[in-house]
Amino acid sequence: MTHSPTPNALNRPVISSDFPDRHIASVLQPFVDSRTMAGAVILVATKDKVLTLETVGYCDLEAHKPMEPDNLFWIASMTKPMTATALMMLVDEGKINIDDPVEKYLPEFKGQMVIAEQDENHLLLRKPQHPILVREILSHTSGLDFTSALETPTLDRLHLRDAVRSYAMTALKFEPGTKYLYSNAGTNTAGRLIETISGTSYEEFMDQRLFKPLGMHDTTFWPSEEQLRRLAKIYRSKEDKTGLEEASISQLSYPLNNPKRKPMPAGGLFSVAGDIVKFCQMILGGGIYEGRRYLSEPAIREMTRRQTGDAIETSYGLGWDTAGGKFGHGGAYKTRMTIDPKLGLITVLLLHHANDWHREDGNTILPVFTAAAEKLVA
């Protein structure tokens, strides 16, 4: 089933009247009917206006509760571009250079070693050719592992300073700048740099410099009771491939509103479509949103251009993936934001699916959505 949004609701974007009868959600309805996904929130925008905001399916299958435009989602690694944006604010202010060694600001990284040889019987370390750079922690080319051995059983248990110390104590997987390895540790280190340089906690910096000014009132590391009532339930495919069953966020500890949970720069945020589009409009607008400049155009160009060299297959910028002439980021449970600078188009797709798609058609949800969205500006 497909639902149209309630106009002008609290903290919901104003939708352009130029596209009153466009319903992209209808092309995703077959995925709900086949129980490939439970439901989704769909938003398409330019830098100036929201073209459509729609929902499809359910936020609670068992209760047959329809998905609503302001349903909350764990956006996971979509946090990474937001953290990178915050760090680039400090670059704009001349307080840090992306080609500086991380150890210049975080002395615990001095003397970090790289693995030269390793097998089941021995481990040989040596000094890297150069210490890891700020640019490399943002582009997943630093050699830092995905996480450290201390970040168990969930990723939100350690203070950021302690998590980052554990990364500094761990040998690099490869020579910095030579390979790509997707690394929460790198982005978390960027969050710690924000703290060290600004003298403000990471979460406070994000709130005061990005979320509050942009009006991203539903973007948080700790959902309130009211927000948790809007959290879309999480589902995964059943092992026998007969449908969906309820799941939880295995990477985070519960309850999700527990203030003792630690903020995670690499993937801790919860948000709604109406907030995410404001962030994307600021980026697509060259760093300006509603007349206020947040970031310089050179900083945005640096973030959204390919930073991984020709010898590396993956195309990644500074906190953004940069494949195919577009830039954006996804989250662990299939959320996604994409900016197409050529078309001037922003697409946001929010759903909660906790494992890899069992059905082949699951992998077609994003392309089907994108194709329908692009028709709005064709």
Binning pLDDT at 50, 70 and 90, where does residue 33 land? very high
Binning pLDDT at 50, 70 and 90, where does residue 151 land? very high
190 phi and psi angles, rounded to 5 deg: -60, -40
**Residues 7, 28: Cα–Cα separation, whole Å:** 22
**Residues 201, 345: Cα–Cα separation, whole Å:** 33
Task: Give the amino acid at 301.
Answer: R
Listed in sequence order, the residues at least 6 apart from 373 whose beta carbon sits closer than 8 Å to its beta carbon are 24, 44, 345, 347
Structural domains in the chain?
Answer: 2-79+203-374 (3.40.710.10), 81-87+96-201 (3.40.710.10)
What would the pLDDT profile of 4-24 be if each residue is shown by its tens digit? 343 344 466 766 545 544 589
Long-range contact set of residues 147-153: C-beta below 8 Å, sequence gap at least 24: 147/184, 147/185, 148/185
**Residues 99, 138: Cα–Cα separation, whole Å:** 11
Counted residue by residue, the chain has a size of: 378
Listed in sequence order, the residues at least 6 apart from 378 whose beta carbon sits closer than 8 Å to its beta carbon are none
What would the pLDDT profile of 55-91 be if each residue is shown by its tens digit? 999 999 999 999 999 999 999 999 999 999 999 999 9
Task: Indicate whether this model's pTM tops 0.85.
Answer: yes
Task: State the Cα angle at 140 between 271 and 134, rounded to 5°.
Answer: 95
Whose CA is closest to 91, among 63, 125, 133?
133
Instruction: Return the beta strands (E) in 233-318 as ranges.
Output: 234-237, 244-247, 269-271, 288-289, 292-293
Identify the residue whose tokens are 């989704």.
40
What is the DSSP track for 171-221?
A: PBSS-TTS-----HHHHHHHHHHHHHHHSS-HHHHHIIIIIHHHT-TT-BS
Are 292 and 308 in contact by the 8 Å Cβ rule? The answer is: no
What would the pLDDT profile of 329-345 be if each residue is shown by its tens digit? 999 999 999 999 999 99
Strand partners, 133: 101
pLDDT > 50? residue 326 = yes
Q: Is the link from the previous residue into 367 a cis peptide, with omega within 30 of 0?
A: no
What tokens does 198 get? 């600004």
